[in-house]
Structure 1
Amino acid sequence: MKFLVVDALAGVQTFVRQLLQAHGFAPDHILCCADPDSALSQGLLFKPNFLITDWFPKATLQGPALYQRLREVQPRLQLALFSFQVTPEQEFEAEAHGAHFLLKKPFTADQLKTEMTRALETLAKDHPALHGQLRDVMRASRPSASMAPAAPTRPVLPVLPPQPVIKPGDRVRFNGELHTAQYVVHRQGGTVVQLKGQASFVPVEKLQPA
């Protein structure tokens, strides 16, 4: 079960990653991206089973369109959406795509945890091929009936060192030369940037805004 998380806010990416890992999903099965374009390029290779994305209403490639593109390589792709503005039209479109939820920003950690837990439980019931794995994951995430209930815990967001704020299209300096940032990808262990015309990714801390 692989997850693709797409949100411009690093804090949202980190919390969703920690929430999924708390449910027992492997870290290398969770990919985080900051924008739809990089999510599409990475997702076509990653082939996620579940897309959790911001709507990105001002982007050329919006969240629902990203979902449709990724379904070309993963027809049974599941969808969940975030948006700062939730309109009746968005609610209708989210429902038409079968989204597990459309959560209005800003949301609390408890709200997101509730929606994600409900979505995973629905998957365990409605998708026989995933039922065994998700059943075991959900069972492992709950305290044993023979044990006294433990105090509820919340994922703790790590304190990240300050990094340059770089977005796709920004001009940056790397090794003394000017480049254009094409994709920005947030992964476990740090943020990397693919420069236009370059095949490899560069750690964001090695770049300086031009």
Structure 2
Amino acid sequence: MSAVRFLVADSSPALQTFVKNLLVSYGFEAAWVHTSRDPQSALAAAKEQAPHFLLTDCFAKSALNAVALVQELKALNPDLRWALMSTQLHPELNDTARHQGAMFQLEKPFGVHDMQSAMGKALEQWGRDNHEVGRRMPGYRRPRMAPTAPLVPDTPTLKAGDLVDYQGTRDRVRYVIFRRVELLVQLDSTPGMLPATKLRKL
């Protein structure tokens, strides 16, 4: 079985774990998913691992930003596929990313299901050209993960509509988003965003 190598470049360890677990849930080997916390280490890892897919933060304040990193990696692998995550998805960056062939762009903070949907559709599209990807993606499907297995360790898996207990009070999940290093939840009857780890799913 041929390896399909992924590289996740983001400063958040939790987001790295989230994406890695998501890819594993689609049937890719954990050993095929490498992570880096900055673009320089991502470039160094890419020279050793030659990734097929890059999922990267914008790294707007770095001399080696996401676009420059993609250009460097495409010099190593012209068939590189990539996607962008950023808190700064302004129109100019959107246009640049599209021009550079980004398969999708997600604005942080984003929800768990936003990433699941975007990544699943990208893999399905990529699978039309790549046999090893395509055999895992016979048409878009949801990740093959147990419903109780969190994408981020020690974090309950929650979605809009779930009933939860918060400090002894029963409430319902309205929104779920992933921001920086944690999963945050907004409830119907409780103001503000709460860390998912403070909730117990009913």
TM-score between the two structures when normalised by the length of structure 2: 0.69
Q: Are the counterparts in 1 of residues 127 and 135 from structure 2 also a CA contact under 8 Å?
A: no
The equivalent of 1:84 in structure 2 is 87
Alignment partner of 1:100: what SS? coil
Out of 150, 155, 166, the position equivalent to 1:155 is 150
User: How big is the shift at 1:103?
Assistant: 0.5
Alignment partner, residue 164 of structure 2: none
Cα deviation code 1:145-166 (max 9, x no counterpart)? xxxxx98566342249xxxxxx
Percent of aligned pairs with the same residue? 38
Deviations, residues 166-185 of structure 1 (Å, cap 9, x unaligned): xxxxxxxxxxxxxxxxxxxx
Alignment match of 2:56 (pick from 53, 56, 59): 53
Distance change >3 Å, CA 76–CA 153, structure 1 → 2:
farther
- Structure 1 gaps, min length 5: 144-149, 161-210
Superposed CA RMSD:
2.3
Q: CA deviation at 1:30?
A: 0.5
CA distance in 1, matches of 2:103, 2:148: 24
The equivalent position to 1:63 in structure 2, one of 66, 71, 74, is: 66
Question: Aligned partners of 1:157, 1:80: CA distance in 2, in Å?
Answer: 20
Q: Which residue of 2 aligns with 1:135?
A: 134
Measured after TM superposition, the shift of residue 72 of structure 1 is 1.5
> Is contact 1:22-1:141 (8 Å) kept?
no
State the distance in 2 between where 1:68 and 1:138 align. Answer: 27
Q: 1:140 to 1:60 in 2, by over 3 A?
A: same
Paired residue for 2:125?
A: 122
AA at the equivalent of 2:150 = P
Where do residues 1-210 of structure 1 align in structure 2 (5 Å cutoff)? 1-125=4-128, 127=129, 130-131=130-131, 133-139=132-138, 142=141, 152=147, 155-159=150-154
